[in-house]
Structure 1
Amino acid sequence: MQRPRLVTAAPAERADPIDRRELQPEAPAAPADAAPAPQKARRAPGARKMLLGAAVVAALAGGGWYGYEWWTEGRFLVETDDAYVGADMAVVAPKISGYVESVAVADNAPVKAGEPLLNVDPADFRLALQAAEGKIATQQASIDRFDSQIAAAEAQTAQAKAQVDSASADRDRAAADYERAQQLVKSTYGSKQALDQAKADRDRTVAAVEAARAGVAAAEANRAVLAAQKGEAQRTLQEFETARAQRQRDLDATLIRAPFDGVIGNKAVQVGDYVTPGKRLMAVVPLDRVYVDANFKETQLAEVKPGAKVRLSVDAYPEHDVTGVVDSLAPASGAQFSLLPPENATGNFTKIVQRVPVRIRVDPQDVAKGRLRPGLSVIASVDTRTAPKLTSDAADLRR
């Protein structure tokens, strides 16, 4: 059973003949320079809707602009920040040992090809060259002596041949005398003694001919020995000449020159240092032949082809973009050329995206500005639309 609700009438407002504001104490007057109290700004609901609408419109405009940029250009760009400027710099090292006599260049100094860089004390090498030249002179004198001996041997050979001719003539005369003596003995006009004398003369002349022939052989053999000795001396002379050439090269190596145009860097030599072959003295960096090596992921290489244009953003000069062209792709990923190549056929396997170095040829006009230094970080963006079209044969090879 519900209770009855009591309805009470609100009491009529009692008229207050006394004004309550008159009873309240008056507030002290504010100073004249006091600023009025800030009032809390109230934002109308319409303004909030306008701001929200403007934000939505800005977001849609930004998204549309980004989508347009991606559709017209972004989807054709392959980009990586794993890229660095490089150069085929030369490490200067001596070929000989010695004390540094002078250094002609300073750090960061430009040099031209063939310009002297430093000089090693050449005194010892000059003496070695003089000793080699002395040996050559002595050996040349020996060869000249052999020439004289060979000439004498040739004269002896001619003399021996003349003696053979003389002995042969005597032999022929003695043989004729012996024949006549035999005829006289048979006709009883000659004596037995004369026949014996003629026979002895014949035999003596025959022996003289053989002796003369032996003398010719000995003279010719002596000449052959002298010729062989001369050949040996000539070969020794060639060895001495080779030694002199080596000493000359050592002397020339005391003056180290720049191999090409570039800038000196990493200088680590001073006057008085003792250097040995292969010691690193300084480096010559060819700033006019710099390039960029960009390490693209293997998933990015499908459209990266030689000849494609590249935009290079150098971290050191963000306000200056550099242009280039894809020159070539490495034959293997960078991991294959590391000191310890990975062996994926053993143990557990975790797939890791590999990177392949891509050589980028920088525009000569940008290189000539001299801003690029080996080792600088670069962001490389390849425009795949600019890659040259492959011929049918090249396309078949790619398949």
Structure 2
Amino acid sequence: MSNNDNTGTGQPIEQPSTTATGQPLFRPRTSNRRTRLVMSAAVVLIVAGGVAWLLKYLDYGRFQQETNDATIQADQVTISSKLEGYVRRVAVVENQAVEDGALLVEIDPTDYSTRLKSAEAEMATAAAAENAARAALAEAESAIDHARASLVSAQTSWKFAVGEVERHQPLVDKGVTSAALMSQLVVEQDRARADVAAAEAALQQVQRRFVTIKARIAETLAQVQAAQVTRLAAENDLNATRITSPVAGQVANSTVRIGQFVQAGMRLMTIVPTDDIYVVANFKETQIGLMRPGQPATIRVDALPDMEFSGVVTSITPGTGANFSLIPPQNATGNFTKIVQRVPVRIHINAGPSARQVLVPGLSLEVEVDTRAGRNLLATIEAEQRDQGL
């Protein structure tokens, strides 16, 4: 019997066109066509989005190097005492803002003021000795002139006596002049010769005295210079009792107290130059191939969420962080495990006065550097290698 027949009647069985809930049992063909169009459009949009993302990545995304291993840094200045002594005054408090040259600490200047006065007295003594030596030198010069004049006079008298002896000798031989007169002339000649010798000895004596006085002047000049240096050192020590700030910034980690005895070189406090902060970002070695100074950077600070700061790469450290560690790693022996190294990159951050009140050294950052400016660097390197025949 056919399945389309009703039992006992031979009539065909009528198939239901709806479900029990009233929904049509079979969807129209127009609904299937709409579904295929929607799915096709979705696939096109996905492909277009993927292509757009790929193009953007190739032109922009692959040149963006990002790291969260970055902090704010500042060239902090450690303040220490040049001298030893008791602290008379502490002019600043913890976290206080100070200007360049502002007084920080004052050491008791009593001992150093006394040393300065002593050095000034020594300098005055040396100057007086120099003046006395110069006066003696002038006196010696006058003595030399007098001795030379005496020598000339003695030589003139001796020449006259010699001439008289020579003139009367023939007369004595002829008996015209008495022998007694001749004897007297000879005595006068010998006396004149002795006067010349005495004048020469006197001249040599004052000349030696002149040389001695000049040497004494040189000695006194050295003493004056030594006294001046001693006074300058004492003055510098006295000025060093007032410890001033070498830079503008903010006081931090102050350990000095009034009445405390400090030693030379003892650390007293730290000055943090908050207006001269910068960023140090440690990038992986695989990220710095195209990184160069002058490239722009985007900086996000954990302390200021949802805020971004601009910056510029200023320098790249000529070595990895491990290379400058206290004990650099040596891989010449034993087993070797390759570890990706990091290279510190210094970045200037553009921030206003209000932001700098929050941006203190040590804060954690996220840094992204745009290296698109170095996209032609690889081609340049390859050209250089070809030029060198490598």
In 2, distance between residues paired with 1:392 and 1:245? 59
Aligned to 1:299: 286
Q: Using the alignment, how far apart are the partners of 1:277 and 1:389 within structure 2?
A: 55
2:220 aligns with 233
Q: Would you say the 8 A contact 1:290–1:367 is kept in 2?
A: no
Equivalent residue of 1:301, what SS? coil
Counterpart Cα distance in 2 of 1:296 and 1:85: 15
Partner of 1:3: none
1:66 to 1:107, Cα distance in 2 relative to 1, 3 A: farther
The match for 2:200 is: 213
What is the alpha-carbon distance in structure 2 between the residues aligned to residue 164 and residue 347 of structure 1?
97
User: Per the alignment, do residues 203 and 122 of structure 1 end up closer, same or farther by CA in structure 2, a change over 3 Å counting?
Assistant: same
Which runs of 5 or more structure 1 residues have no equivalent in the other structure? Answer: 1-49
C-alpha displacement at 1:183, in angstroms?
2.5
Cα distance change on mapping 1:251 and 1:388 into 2, 3 Å: farther
Q: 1:264 aligns to what SS in structure 2?
A: strand
Question: Counterpart of 1:150?
Answer: 137
TM-score normalized by the length of structure 2: 0.81
Normalised TM-score (structure 1): 0.79
* 1:110 aligned partner, one-letter code: A
Deviations 1:116-136 (A, max 9, x none): 111011011101111111111
The answer to whether structure 1 residue 242 and structure 2 residue 233 are counterparts is: no
Q: Within 2, Cα distance between the matches of 1:386 and 1:225?
A: 78
Question: What displacement does 1:329 show?
Answer: 1.0
Question: C-alpha distance in 2, partners of 1:192/1:364?
Answer: 121
Task: Report what 1:172 is aligned to.
Answer: 159
Q: Summarize deviations over 1:222-251 as a string: whole Å, max 9, x none.
A: 011011112111101211111111111110
Deviations 1:344-381 (A, max 9, x none): 11222111111111111222648974332111111111
What root-mean-square deviation, in Å, do the aligned CA atoms of Structure 1 and Structure 2 show?
3.1
* Aligned equivalent of 2:4: none
Counterpart-to-counterpart distance in 1, 2:202 and 2:372: 95
Q: Secondary structure at the match of 2:71?
A: strand
SS in 1 for 2:165: helix
Superposed, 1:33-182 pairs within 5 Å as 64=50, 70-71=57-58, 73-182=60-169
1:130 is aligned with what amino acid? K
Is residue 377 of structure 1 aligned with residue 364 of structure 2? yes
Deviation readout 1:312-363 (Å, 9 max, x if unpaired): 1111112221111111111111111111111111222111111111111222
The alignment status of 1:363 with 2:347, answered yes or no, reads no
Report how many residues are paired.
347
Equivalent pair of 1:309/1:387 in contact (CA under 8 Å)? no
Shift of 1:155: 2.1
Q: Cα gap change, 1:364/1:386 in structure 2, threshold over 3 Å: closer, same or farther?
A: farther
Tell me if 1:270 matches 2:225: no
- d(CA) in 1 for partners of 2:212, 2:93: 62
Aligned match for 2:267, one of 255, 260, 280:
280
Q: Distance in 1 between matches of 2:119 and 2:255?
A: 34
CA 1:318/1:364 → structure 2, altered by over 3 Å: closer, same or farther? closer
CA spacing shift, 1:367–1:241, aligned 2, 3 Å: farther
1:334 is aligned to: 321
Which moved further from structure 2: 184-193 or 306-315? Answer: 184-193
Contact 2:274/2:356, CA 8 A, preserved across alignment = no
- Match of 1:299, SS state, is coil
Shift of 1:204: 2.0
Aligned-partner SS, 2:282: strand
Q: Percent identity?
A: 38
Amino acid at match of 2:137: I
